[in-house]
Amino acid sequence: MHPGTVWTIYKKELTDTLRDRRTLIFMLAIPMVAIPLLIMAISQLMMSQITKQIEYESMVIVQGAEHATDDLMARFRDAGTLKLLTENEYRASDSTHKGDLKDALIAGDFEALVVIPETFDSAIESETPTTVEIYYDQAEMKSEFTVDKLRDVLDPYKEHVVEQRLKSRNIPADVIEPFDVSKHNVAPMRKLAGEKVGAMLPYIVILMCFMGAIYPAIDLAAGEKERGTLETLLVSPASRGDFVVGKYLVILTTSLIAALMSLGSLTFSINYMVKGLASEIGKMLMLQLDVSTVLLIILVVLPMAGIFAALLLSVSVFARSFKEAQNYSNALMMLIILPAIASMLPGVDMSYQLALVPVLNASMIIKNAVSGTVQWNYVATAFAASVVYAAILLFFAKKWFEKESVLFRT
Protein backbone atom coordinates (compact mmCIF):
# COMPACT_ATOMS: atom_id res chain seq x y z
CA MET A 1 0.00 0.00 0.00
CA HIS A 2 1.19 3.51 -0.84
CA PRO A 3 -0.11 6.13 1.59
CA GLY A 4 0.47 8.94 -0.91
CA THR A 5 -1.62 7.25 -3.59
CA VAL A 6 -4.33 6.28 -1.11
CA TRP A 7 -4.49 9.90 0.00
CA THR A 8 -4.80 11.08 -3.64
CA ILE A 9 -7.64 8.63 -4.21
CA TYR A 10 -9.30 9.52 -0.91
CA LYS A 11 -9.26 13.25 -1.65
CA LYS A 12 -10.63 12.82 -5.15
CA GLU A 13 -13.39 10.40 -4.13
CA LEU A 14 -14.42 12.52 -1.16
CA THR A 15 -14.67 15.66 -3.29
CA ASP A 16 -16.66 13.74 -5.88
CA THR A 17 -18.95 12.20 -3.27
CA LEU A 18 -19.59 15.44 -1.41
CA ARG A 19 -20.82 16.93 -4.67
CA ASP A 20 -23.44 14.21 -4.97
CA ARG A 21 -26.83 15.41 -3.85
CA ARG A 22 -28.00 11.94 -2.82
CA THR A 23 -25.07 11.54 -0.46
CA LEU A 24 -25.70 14.94 1.06
CA ILE A 25 -29.33 14.10 1.68
CA PHE A 26 -28.40 11.05 3.74
CA MET A 27 -25.42 12.65 5.39
CA LEU A 28 -26.87 16.02 6.33
CA ALA A 29 -30.52 16.59 5.44
CA ILE A 30 -32.02 13.55 7.12
CA PRO A 31 -30.03 13.87 10.36
CA MET A 32 -30.43 17.61 10.68
CA VAL A 33 -34.00 18.06 9.53
CA ALA A 34 -35.91 14.81 9.47
CA ILE A 35 -34.74 13.47 12.83
CA PRO A 36 -35.65 16.53 14.93
CA LEU A 37 -39.04 16.60 13.22
CA LEU A 38 -39.52 12.93 13.96
CA ILE A 39 -38.63 13.35 17.62
CA MET A 40 -40.93 16.32 17.89
CA ALA A 41 -43.82 14.45 16.28
CA ILE A 42 -43.30 11.41 18.48
CA SER A 43 -43.12 13.38 21.71
CA GLN A 44 -46.17 15.41 20.77
CA LEU A 45 -48.03 12.22 20.03
CA MET A 46 -46.99 10.60 23.29
CA MET A 47 -47.91 13.67 25.25
CA SER A 48 -51.37 13.91 23.81
CA GLN A 49 -51.90 10.17 24.21
CA ILE A 50 -50.93 10.21 27.84
CA THR A 51 -53.07 13.19 28.68
CA LYS A 52 -55.96 11.64 26.82
CA GLN A 53 -55.67 8.37 28.75
CA ILE A 54 -55.46 10.10 32.08
CA GLU A 55 -58.27 12.52 31.55
CA TYR A 56 -60.49 9.97 29.92
CA GLU A 57 -63.54 9.05 32.00
CA SER A 58 -63.32 5.27 32.34
CA MET A 59 -66.49 3.30 32.49
CA VAL A 60 -66.47 0.64 35.19
CA ILE A 61 -69.16 -1.92 35.96
CA VAL A 62 -69.48 -3.18 39.49
CA GLN A 63 -70.93 -6.65 39.86
CA GLY A 64 -72.34 -7.33 43.30
CA ALA A 65 -72.42 -3.65 44.23
CA GLU A 66 -75.09 -4.48 46.79
CA HIS A 67 -72.49 -6.47 48.77
CA ALA A 68 -70.03 -3.60 48.90
CA THR A 69 -69.83 -1.35 51.91
CA ASP A 70 -71.42 2.04 51.48
CA ASP A 71 -68.06 3.62 52.20
CA LEU A 72 -66.40 1.79 49.28
CA MET A 73 -69.19 2.66 46.86
CA ALA A 74 -69.03 6.28 47.91
CA ARG A 75 -65.28 6.33 47.31
CA PHE A 76 -65.77 4.82 43.85
CA ARG A 77 -68.41 7.37 42.94
CA ASP A 78 -66.26 10.24 44.20
CA ALA A 79 -63.20 9.24 42.13
CA GLY A 80 -62.67 11.87 39.46
CA THR A 81 -62.37 10.14 36.15
CA LEU A 82 -64.36 7.00 36.85
CA LYS A 83 -67.89 6.53 35.65
CA LEU A 84 -69.32 3.83 37.81
CA LEU A 85 -72.37 1.71 37.01
CA THR A 86 -73.72 -1.20 38.99
CA GLU A 87 -74.55 -4.29 37.01
CA ASN A 88 -78.24 -3.51 37.20
CA GLU A 89 -77.78 0.09 36.12
CA TYR A 90 -75.68 -1.09 33.21
CA ARG A 91 -78.18 -3.70 32.03
CA ALA A 92 -81.05 -1.25 32.37
CA SER A 93 -79.25 1.50 30.43
CA ASP A 94 -79.56 -0.32 27.13
CA SER A 95 -81.72 -3.25 26.03
CA THR A 96 -78.79 -4.85 24.22
CA HIS A 97 -76.82 -5.25 27.44
CA LYS A 98 -77.90 -8.80 28.21
CA GLY A 99 -74.96 -11.15 27.73
CA ASP A 100 -71.94 -12.04 29.76
CA LEU A 101 -70.14 -9.04 31.27
CA LYS A 102 -66.68 -10.38 30.40
CA ASP A 103 -67.63 -10.65 26.74
CA ALA A 104 -68.83 -7.06 26.84
CA LEU A 105 -65.50 -6.06 28.41
CA ILE A 106 -63.58 -7.78 25.62
CA ALA A 107 -65.85 -6.09 23.10
CA GLY A 108 -64.79 -2.79 24.66
CA ASP A 109 -68.20 -1.71 26.00
CA PHE A 110 -66.46 -0.52 29.17
CA GLU A 111 -62.94 -0.43 30.57
CA ALA A 112 -63.06 -2.65 33.65
CA LEU A 113 -65.27 -4.97 35.65
CA VAL A 114 -65.10 -5.02 39.43
CA VAL A 115 -66.53 -8.11 41.10
CA ILE A 116 -67.51 -7.76 44.76
CA PRO A 117 -68.11 -11.18 46.37
CA GLU A 118 -71.45 -11.88 48.07
CA THR A 119 -69.68 -12.21 51.40
CA PHE A 120 -67.72 -8.94 51.10
CA ASP A 121 -69.79 -6.86 53.47
CA SER A 122 -69.88 -9.52 56.17
CA ALA A 123 -66.23 -10.45 55.66
CA ILE A 124 -65.17 -6.87 56.32
CA GLU A 125 -67.47 -6.82 59.33
CA SER A 126 -66.22 -10.14 60.71
CA GLU A 127 -62.60 -9.46 59.80
CA THR A 128 -62.17 -12.52 57.58
CA PRO A 129 -60.16 -12.43 54.34
CA THR A 130 -61.94 -11.77 51.09
CA THR A 131 -61.11 -10.80 47.51
CA VAL A 132 -62.18 -8.06 45.15
CA GLU A 133 -61.63 -9.03 41.56
CA ILE A 134 -60.81 -6.61 38.75
CA TYR A 135 -61.17 -7.75 35.16
CA TYR A 136 -59.50 -5.67 32.50
CA ASP A 137 -58.17 -5.89 28.98
CA GLN A 138 -54.40 -5.58 28.93
CA ALA A 139 -54.37 -5.08 25.21
CA GLU A 140 -56.21 -1.81 25.70
CA MET A 141 -54.20 1.04 27.13
CA LYS A 142 -57.36 2.73 28.42
CA SER A 143 -58.25 -0.40 30.32
CA GLU A 144 -54.79 -0.60 31.87
CA PHE A 145 -54.99 2.98 33.03
CA THR A 146 -58.42 2.27 34.52
CA VAL A 147 -56.93 -0.46 36.71
CA ASP A 148 -54.48 2.12 38.07
CA LYS A 149 -57.38 4.43 38.82
CA LEU A 150 -59.32 1.65 40.57
CA ARG A 151 -56.32 0.79 42.70
CA ASP A 152 -56.08 4.43 43.64
CA VAL A 153 -59.52 3.96 45.23
CA LEU A 154 -59.14 0.43 46.61
CA ASP A 155 -55.73 0.83 48.25
CA PRO A 156 -56.64 3.83 50.42
CA TYR A 157 -59.90 2.08 51.35
CA LYS A 158 -57.96 -0.98 52.43
CA GLU A 159 -55.67 1.19 54.54
CA HIS A 160 -58.70 2.82 56.01
CA VAL A 161 -60.19 -0.55 57.03
CA VAL A 162 -56.89 -1.59 58.59
CA GLU A 163 -56.73 1.66 60.47
CA GLN A 164 -60.26 1.11 61.82
CA ARG A 165 -59.43 -2.36 63.03
CA LEU A 166 -56.28 -1.21 64.77
CA LYS A 167 -58.14 1.61 66.37
CA SER A 168 -60.77 -0.78 67.74
CA ARG A 169 -57.97 -2.73 69.43
CA ASN A 170 -56.30 0.43 70.66
CA ILE A 171 -53.16 -0.16 68.65
CA PRO A 172 -51.55 2.91 67.08
CA ALA A 173 -51.62 2.90 63.25
CA ASP A 174 -47.84 3.31 63.12
CA VAL A 175 -47.34 -0.29 64.25
CA ILE A 176 -48.00 -1.71 60.82
CA GLU A 177 -45.91 0.95 59.11
CA PRO A 178 -42.37 0.43 60.47
CA PHE A 179 -40.97 2.47 57.62
CA ASP A 180 -42.31 4.49 54.77
CA VAL A 181 -41.72 3.63 51.12
CA SER A 182 -42.19 6.71 49.09
CA LYS A 183 -43.15 5.72 45.56
CA HIS A 184 -44.11 8.02 42.76
CA ASN A 185 -46.48 6.91 40.13
CA VAL A 186 -44.75 7.55 36.86
CA ALA A 187 -44.89 3.95 35.69
CA PRO A 188 -47.29 4.28 32.78
CA MET A 189 -45.40 7.24 31.39
CA ARG A 190 -42.01 5.57 31.49
CA LYS A 191 -43.49 2.57 29.78
CA LEU A 192 -44.69 4.75 26.96
CA ALA A 193 -41.95 7.27 26.58
CA GLY A 194 -38.64 6.09 27.99
CA GLU A 195 -38.59 2.63 26.56
CA LYS A 196 -39.84 3.57 23.15
CA VAL A 197 -37.31 6.31 22.59
CA GLY A 198 -34.57 4.26 24.23
CA ALA A 199 -35.16 1.40 21.82
CA MET A 200 -35.56 3.69 18.85
CA LEU A 201 -32.26 5.42 19.35
CA PRO A 202 -29.88 2.59 18.40
CA TYR A 203 -32.16 1.73 15.54
CA ILE A 204 -31.98 5.22 14.05
CA VAL A 205 -28.23 5.56 14.53
CA ILE A 206 -27.53 2.16 12.96
CA LEU A 207 -29.87 2.80 10.10
CA MET A 208 -28.32 6.17 9.35
CA CYS A 209 -24.86 4.68 9.59
CA PHE A 210 -25.87 2.25 6.86
CA MET A 211 -27.72 4.76 4.73
CA GLY A 212 -24.80 7.16 4.87
CA ALA A 213 -22.67 4.48 3.24
CA ILE A 214 -25.05 3.31 0.52
CA TYR A 215 -24.76 5.94 -2.19
CA PRO A 216 -21.03 6.56 -1.97
CA ALA A 217 -20.43 2.80 -2.03
CA ILE A 218 -22.60 2.29 -5.10
CA ASP A 219 -21.10 5.27 -6.86
CA LEU A 220 -17.49 4.43 -6.06
CA ALA A 221 -17.45 0.94 -7.53
CA ALA A 222 -20.54 -0.01 -9.55
CA GLY A 223 -20.72 3.63 -10.66
CA GLU A 224 -17.19 3.39 -12.06
CA LYS A 225 -18.24 0.38 -14.12
CA GLU A 226 -21.33 2.13 -15.38
CA ARG A 227 -19.51 5.36 -16.32
CA GLY A 228 -16.67 3.48 -17.99
CA THR A 229 -14.07 5.01 -15.70
CA LEU A 230 -13.12 1.73 -14.03
CA GLU A 231 -10.94 0.61 -16.92
CA THR A 232 -9.00 3.87 -16.87
CA LEU A 233 -8.20 3.20 -13.21
CA LEU A 234 -7.18 -0.39 -13.87
CA VAL A 235 -4.62 0.62 -16.48
CA SER A 236 -3.13 3.29 -14.23
CA PRO A 237 -0.05 2.38 -12.22
CA ALA A 238 -1.81 2.86 -8.87
CA SER A 239 -2.28 -0.55 -7.30
CA ARG A 240 -5.75 -2.03 -6.99
CA GLY A 241 -5.33 -2.36 -3.25
CA ASP A 242 -4.79 1.41 -3.03
CA PHE A 243 -8.07 2.02 -4.83
CA VAL A 244 -9.93 -0.30 -2.49
CA VAL A 245 -8.47 1.30 0.62
CA GLY A 246 -8.98 4.87 -0.64
CA LYS A 247 -12.57 4.19 -1.63
CA TYR A 248 -13.23 2.29 1.58
CA LEU A 249 -12.06 5.20 3.69
CA VAL A 250 -14.36 7.59 1.83
CA ILE A 251 -17.39 5.35 2.42
CA LEU A 252 -16.38 4.97 6.05
CA THR A 253 -16.17 8.74 6.34
CA THR A 254 -19.65 9.42 4.97
CA SER A 255 -21.12 6.58 7.00
CA LEU A 256 -19.62 7.94 10.21
CA ILE A 257 -20.68 11.49 9.41
CA ALA A 258 -24.27 10.34 8.83
CA ALA A 259 -24.29 8.31 12.05
CA LEU A 260 -22.69 11.00 14.18
CA MET A 261 -24.88 13.73 12.73
CA SER A 262 -27.92 11.61 13.58
CA LEU A 263 -26.67 10.91 17.05
CA GLY A 264 -25.95 14.58 17.63
CA SER A 265 -29.28 15.59 16.25
CA LEU A 266 -31.09 12.99 18.37
CA THR A 267 -29.26 14.01 21.51
CA PHE A 268 -29.99 17.65 20.88
CA SER A 269 -33.65 17.06 20.05
CA ILE A 270 -34.25 14.86 23.06
CA ASN A 271 -32.34 17.02 25.51
CA TYR A 272 -33.71 20.36 24.43
CA MET A 273 -36.83 20.04 22.37
CA VAL A 274 -38.65 17.35 24.30
CA LYS A 275 -37.67 18.93 27.57
CA GLY A 276 -39.31 22.12 26.44
CA LEU A 277 -42.45 20.30 25.51
CA ALA A 278 -43.16 18.38 28.66
CA SER A 279 -40.87 18.69 31.61
CA GLU A 280 -41.61 15.33 33.15
CA ILE A 281 -41.14 13.21 30.04
CA GLY A 282 -38.24 15.36 29.03
CA LYS A 283 -36.43 14.73 32.29
CA MET A 284 -36.99 11.02 31.98
CA LEU A 285 -35.62 10.86 28.45
CA MET A 286 -32.57 13.03 28.87
CA LEU A 287 -31.60 11.17 31.98
CA GLN A 288 -29.23 8.76 30.29
CA LEU A 289 -28.11 10.56 27.18
CA ASP A 290 -25.11 12.28 28.71
CA VAL A 291 -21.60 12.78 27.39
CA SER A 292 -20.21 9.40 28.42
CA THR A 293 -23.15 7.57 26.85
CA VAL A 294 -22.70 9.47 23.62
CA LEU A 295 -19.00 8.59 23.61
CA LEU A 296 -19.84 4.94 24.19
CA ILE A 297 -22.28 5.00 21.29
CA ILE A 298 -19.56 6.45 19.06
CA LEU A 299 -17.27 3.65 20.19
CA VAL A 300 -19.72 0.96 19.05
CA VAL A 301 -20.77 2.76 15.90
CA LEU A 302 -17.17 3.12 14.69
CA PRO A 303 -16.41 -0.54 13.93
CA MET A 304 -19.96 -1.07 12.74
CA ALA A 305 -19.52 1.66 10.14
CA GLY A 306 -16.35 -0.24 9.23
CA ILE A 307 -18.45 -3.34 8.58
CA PHE A 308 -21.10 -1.50 6.58
CA ALA A 309 -18.55 0.31 4.42
CA ALA A 310 -16.69 -2.91 3.59
CA LEU A 311 -19.90 -4.85 2.99
CA LEU A 312 -21.39 -2.25 0.68
CA LEU A 313 -18.12 -1.77 -1.16
CA SER A 314 -17.81 -5.53 -1.79
CA VAL A 315 -21.35 -5.69 -3.08
CA SER A 316 -20.81 -2.65 -5.26
CA VAL A 317 -17.59 -4.03 -6.76
CA PHE A 318 -19.43 -7.24 -7.51
CA ALA A 319 -22.49 -5.63 -9.11
CA ARG A 320 -22.59 -5.14 -12.88
CA SER A 321 -24.40 -1.83 -12.76
CA PHE A 322 -25.61 0.97 -10.55
CA LYS A 323 -29.10 -0.54 -10.54
CA GLU A 324 -27.85 -3.97 -9.53
CA ALA A 325 -25.79 -2.51 -6.70
CA GLN A 326 -28.86 -0.60 -5.54
CA ASN A 327 -30.91 -3.78 -5.44
CA TYR A 328 -28.25 -5.58 -3.42
CA SER A 329 -27.98 -2.68 -1.00
CA ASN A 330 -31.72 -2.58 -0.45
CA ALA A 331 -31.73 -6.29 0.29
CA LEU A 332 -28.85 -5.81 2.72
CA MET A 333 -30.71 -3.02 4.46
CA MET A 334 -33.45 -5.51 5.35
CA LEU A 335 -30.79 -7.75 6.84
CA ILE A 336 -29.39 -4.87 8.88
CA ILE A 337 -32.78 -3.82 10.17
CA LEU A 338 -33.61 -7.27 11.51
CA PRO A 339 -30.95 -7.41 14.26
CA ALA A 340 -31.65 -3.79 15.12
CA ILE A 341 -35.31 -4.66 15.61
CA ALA A 342 -34.45 -7.85 17.48
CA SER A 343 -32.60 -5.79 20.06
CA MET A 344 -35.82 -3.91 20.80
CA LEU A 345 -37.62 -7.09 21.80
CA PRO A 346 -38.11 -7.41 25.53
CA GLY A 347 -36.28 -10.34 27.09
CA VAL A 348 -33.31 -10.25 24.73
CA ASP A 349 -30.40 -10.09 27.14
CA MET A 350 -26.75 -9.42 26.42
CA SER A 351 -24.39 -12.39 26.45
CA TYR A 352 -21.01 -13.22 24.94
CA GLN A 353 -22.76 -15.02 22.09
CA LEU A 354 -24.88 -11.99 21.30
CA ALA A 355 -21.83 -9.75 21.59
CA LEU A 356 -20.41 -11.64 18.61
CA VAL A 357 -23.43 -11.02 16.37
CA PRO A 358 -22.71 -7.98 14.22
CA VAL A 359 -25.20 -5.09 14.40
CA LEU A 360 -27.23 -6.85 17.09
CA ASN A 361 -24.32 -6.40 19.50
CA ALA A 362 -24.09 -2.70 18.77
CA SER A 363 -27.79 -2.06 19.13
CA MET A 364 -27.93 -4.04 22.38
CA ILE A 365 -25.06 -2.04 23.83
CA ILE A 366 -26.62 1.26 22.82
CA LYS A 367 -30.01 0.22 24.15
CA ASN A 368 -28.52 -0.80 27.49
CA ALA A 369 -26.36 2.29 27.70
CA VAL A 370 -29.35 4.51 27.18
CA SER A 371 -31.16 2.81 30.02
CA GLY A 372 -28.10 3.18 32.22
CA THR A 373 -26.10 -0.07 32.06
CA VAL A 374 -22.67 -0.39 30.46
CA GLN A 375 -20.99 -3.79 30.54
CA TRP A 376 -17.45 -3.20 29.40
CA ASN A 377 -16.67 -6.87 28.85
CA TYR A 378 -19.39 -7.00 26.21
CA VAL A 379 -18.40 -3.67 24.72
CA ALA A 380 -14.83 -4.92 24.28
CA THR A 381 -15.99 -8.24 22.80
CA ALA A 382 -18.33 -6.52 20.38
CA PHE A 383 -15.67 -4.03 19.35
CA ALA A 384 -13.08 -6.71 18.66
CA ALA A 385 -15.57 -8.90 16.79
CA SER A 386 -16.72 -6.02 14.61
CA VAL A 387 -13.18 -5.01 13.72
CA VAL A 388 -12.46 -8.59 12.64
CA TYR A 389 -15.62 -8.74 10.51
CA ALA A 390 -14.80 -5.41 8.87
CA ALA A 391 -11.28 -6.61 8.07
CA ILE A 392 -12.58 -9.85 6.53
CA LEU A 393 -15.10 -7.99 4.40
CA LEU A 394 -12.50 -5.47 3.28
CA PHE A 395 -10.27 -8.34 2.28
CA PHE A 396 -13.12 -9.66 0.11
CA ALA A 397 -13.62 -6.26 -1.48
CA LYS A 398 -9.92 -6.21 -2.36
CA LYS A 399 -10.00 -9.78 -3.72
CA TRP A 400 -12.90 -8.89 -5.96
CA PHE A 401 -11.31 -5.68 -7.11
CA GLU A 402 -8.39 -7.79 -8.32
CA LYS A 403 -10.50 -10.42 -10.02
CA GLU A 404 -11.04 -10.09 -13.77
CA SER A 405 -14.23 -12.12 -13.78
CA VAL A 406 -15.78 -9.71 -11.26
CA LEU A 407 -14.45 -6.48 -12.79
CA PHE A 408 -15.46 -7.40 -16.33
CA ARG A 409 -18.67 -9.25 -15.53
CA THR A 410 -20.97 -9.35 -18.56
Ligand X SMILES: Nc1ncnc2c1ncn2[C@@H]1O[C@H](COP(=O)(O)OP(=O)(O)OP(=O)(O)O)[C@@H](O)[C@H]1O
- Binding residues (CB under 8 A) for another protein: these are 5, 8-9, 12, 15-16, 19-20, 227-229, 231-239, 404-405, 408, 410
Instruction: Name the residue type at position 189.
Output: M
Residue 395 is a binding residue for ligand X (CB under 6 A): no
Number of residues that bind ligand X (CB under 6 A): 2
Q: Give the integer Cα–Cα distance in Å for 197 and 273.
A: 14
The answer to whether 300 and 357 are in contact (CB under 8 A) is no
Name which of 352 and 408 has its Cβ closer to ligand X. 408
Task: Give the CA dihedral 326, 328, 329, 335, nearest 10 degrees.
Answer: 150
Rounded to a whole number, what is the distance in angstroms from the first to the last CA of the chain?
A: 30
Residue 272 is a binding residue for ligand X (CB under 6 A): no
Residue 410 is a binding residue for ligand X (CB under 6 A): yes
Q: Look at residue 313 and give its three-state secondary structure.
A: helix
Q: Give the integer Cα–Cα distance in Å for 355 and 234.
A: 39
From ligand X, another protein, none, which one binds at residue 93 (CB under 5 to 8 Å depending on kind)?
none
Residue 352 is a binding residue for ligand X (CB under 6 A): no
Q: At its nearest, how many Å lie between ligand X and the CB of residue 231?
A: 12
From another protein, ligand X, none, which one binds at residue 73 (CB under 5 to 8 Å depending on kind)?
none
From another protein, ligand X, none, which one binds at residue 85 (CB under 5 to 8 Å depending on kind)?
none
- The angle, 0 to 180 degrees and rounded to 10, between the axes of the packed helices 194-220 and 279-286 is 60
For every residue of 201-221, DSSP letters joined together read: HHHHHHHHHHHHHHHHHHHHT
Residue 231 is a binding residue for ligand X (CB under 6 A): no
Name which of 15 and 122 has its Cβ closer to another protein. 15
Largest CA distance in the chain: 101
Name which of 129 and 237 has its Cβ closer to another protein. 237
Q: At its nearest, how many Å lie between another protein and the CB of residue 253?
A: 17
Q: Are strands 58-63 and 133-136 parallel, antiparallel or unpaired?
A: unpaired
Residue 408 is a binding residue for ligand X (CB under 6 A): yes
Instruction: Name the residue type at position 278.
Output: A
Residue 7 is a binding residue for ligand X (CB under 6 A): no
Name which of 76 and 400 has its Cβ closer to ligand X. 400
Q: Which residues bind ligand X (CB under 6 A)?
A: 408, 410
